[in-house]
Chains A and B, each alone.
Chain A
Amino acid sequence: MRKSDNKITTCYTSLECNSCKILQKRKFTDGDFVFSSSENCSDCDGKMMITKIFGVTMD
């Protein structure tokens, strides 16, 4: 999270399960990069792949 000119940007990681295609969004953690799969799906135990990493800015 960073603050610039009263704007706060939070970085999020978007993941998709390779098996059940469920989508999840969580806050970015160090070591995340797009198209890496390190987590298991909470629904079907399949592999989750990071599809997007992006910032959301709030005033």
Chain B
Amino acid sequence: MDFNFDEFLAWVGEDIDTLMMLIWIIPVIVFVFYGQRIQLLISSNEIKKDIDKLEEYTASTKKDFLNYVKNNLTSKTDPSKRLDSFFDYFTIMPVDMDPNGIISKINHLVRSREDFIRLQINGMFSDLSSVELSKLQNLLEIVTTLQLFYKHTRHLYLTAKKQKNFPLILPLQMMIPFIMEEAVALKDAMPAIKKGQPIGDSIGPMIVGQMMLDTTKESAAFETVWSKTTFEDRELFLLKAEGPNATVGRPGDGFEKIISNKKPDLVIMIDASLKLEGEDSASIAKGFGAAIGGIGTERFKIEEIATKNQIPILALVIKQSIHEAITLMTQTIADKANAVRDELHQMIRENTTSGQTVLVIGVGNTIGVSQ
């Protein structure tokens, strides 16, 4: 059949409603059949931009780390190749079909990994101080985590694109802003860790560290110290990670050692805590329970000992964003130290009587903060 364009225009001219109908119906048909693909295209373009940023962060932090090692440490051989292999190390978590006893398995796994990395790094460089070793562990952790973020997001993105599967990209679209927030924080944490400067998370050890000045410090566990002092007729046991190393120590093991010496009547844990949207940075909050982050093994141990011995645990937290928690401590957080100490004293007064014993734990990474 021959199509006459002039006739078609004449017909349209007579019936404008038909043209309008076609204008509306064509996009509807396109969206019915290709809607998901169009959405996939738009969403994946946005995600691709973030994945490119993640790749850039991974490459820049890796380069930064290797430059730091080359310029600051002495090694018999070129450490780049060996360090490069560490970036791809992975951890297989224990089977959780039968969760009974899983905490001790996770604890063993995490500690074995830490010990292995520590031993390998220590063997690579000569005259490595404990501070430098802990800094290297933290820097390595940053690069490894960024690489893991990059690889996992890229995997989900490429799988969704390959299979043209729109629902598969939805969880990634929802999660990517949180991943990017953490990735930016990790990237920005590098300079402070390299220079051994305190980070937002160091506020807990900073408060307990000041209380420990002029007391006799003893080792409570690996990279963890404790000491005794007094406050208004109460005996205070103070526990924190050993500074100025870039470590969180082992407060669970430390608590176990202290309790074998004398049972405290109250435990107060001071830690940095992630603020909720709308909350002010460096605001102080009080509560109940063990204030400690991480994978959960230390918290489990502290909760278990406290429950077994019927010791109440109180929490004193300093709110901050993820970025503030792992990058150089802000002035607002540092200036809150005295206010937190006053709150701690008030908590001790309100919850104990003369002659009682209180264990105060400064939880967090004690980088750049001694005692």
Contact among A2, A36, A57 with B370 in the assembled complex (CB-CB below 8 Å): A36
- The yes or no answer to B48 lying at the interface (CB within 8 A) is no
Contact among B196, B330, B334, B371 with A35 in the assembled complex (CB-CB below 8 Å): B371
Judging by beta carbons under 8 Å apart, are A35 and B369 in contact? yes
CB distance from A45 to the nearest CB of B (A): 21
**Contact mask B244-266 → A, CB, 8 Å, 1/0?**
10000000000000000000000
Query: Interface majority SS on A: helix, strand, loop or mixed?
Result: strand
Complex Cα gap A35–B197 (Å)? 13
Contact among A4, A12, A33 with B243 in the assembled complex (CB-CB below 8 Å): A33
Complex Cα gap A34–B196 (Å)? 10
Judging by beta carbons under 8 Å apart, are A34 and B328 in contact? no
**Contact mask B295-333 → A, CB, 8 Å, 1/0?**
000000000000000000000000000000001111101
Look across to chain B and name the residue whose beta carbon is closest to the beta carbon of A52: B334
**Contact mask A6-17 → B, CB, 8 Å, 1/0?**
000101101000
Query: Interface majority SS on B: helix, strand, loop or mixed?
Result: mixed
Contacts A11-B328, A33-B244: A53 and B210 contacting too (C-beta < 8 A)? no
Complex Cα gap A54–B331 (Å)? 5
Chain A neighbourhood of B210, CB < 8 A? 35
Contact among B191, B368, B371 with A53 in the assembled complex (CB-CB below 8 Å): B368
Judging by beta carbons under 8 Å apart, are B209 and A53 in contact? no
Contact among B191, B213, B335, B368 with A2 in the assembled complex (CB-CB below 8 Å): B191
**Contact mask A25-59 → B, CB, 8 Å, 1/0?**
00010101111100000000000000011111100
State which size class the interface on B falls in. 20 to 34
Max chain B CB contacts within 10 Å: which of A11, A12, A57? A11
Judging by beta carbons under 8 Å apart, are B368 and A56 in contact? no
Judging by beta carbons under 8 Å apart, are B328 and A35 in contact? no
Judging by beta carbons under 8 Å apart, are B331 and A55 in contact? yes
List residues of chain B with CB under 8 Å of any chain A CB. Answer: 188, 191-192, 195-198, 202, 206, 209-210, 213, 243-244, 327-331, 333-335, 337, 368-371
Selected A-B contacts with CB under 8 Å, 22 pairs? A9-B328, A11-B192, A11-B197, A28-B197, A33-B196, A33-B244, A33-B368, A33-B369, A34-B198, A34-B206, A34-B369, A34-B370, A35-B209, A35-B213, A35-B370, A36-B244, A36-B370, A53-B197, A54-B329, A54-B331, A55-B328, A55-B329
Given contact pairs A35-B213, A55-B328, enumerate 6 new A-B contacts (beta carbons under 8 Å).
A32-B368, A33-B243, A34-B206, A34-B370, A35-B371, A52-B329
Closest 6 CB pairs of A and B: A55-B328, A33-B244, A54-B334, A34-B369, A52-B334, A54-B331
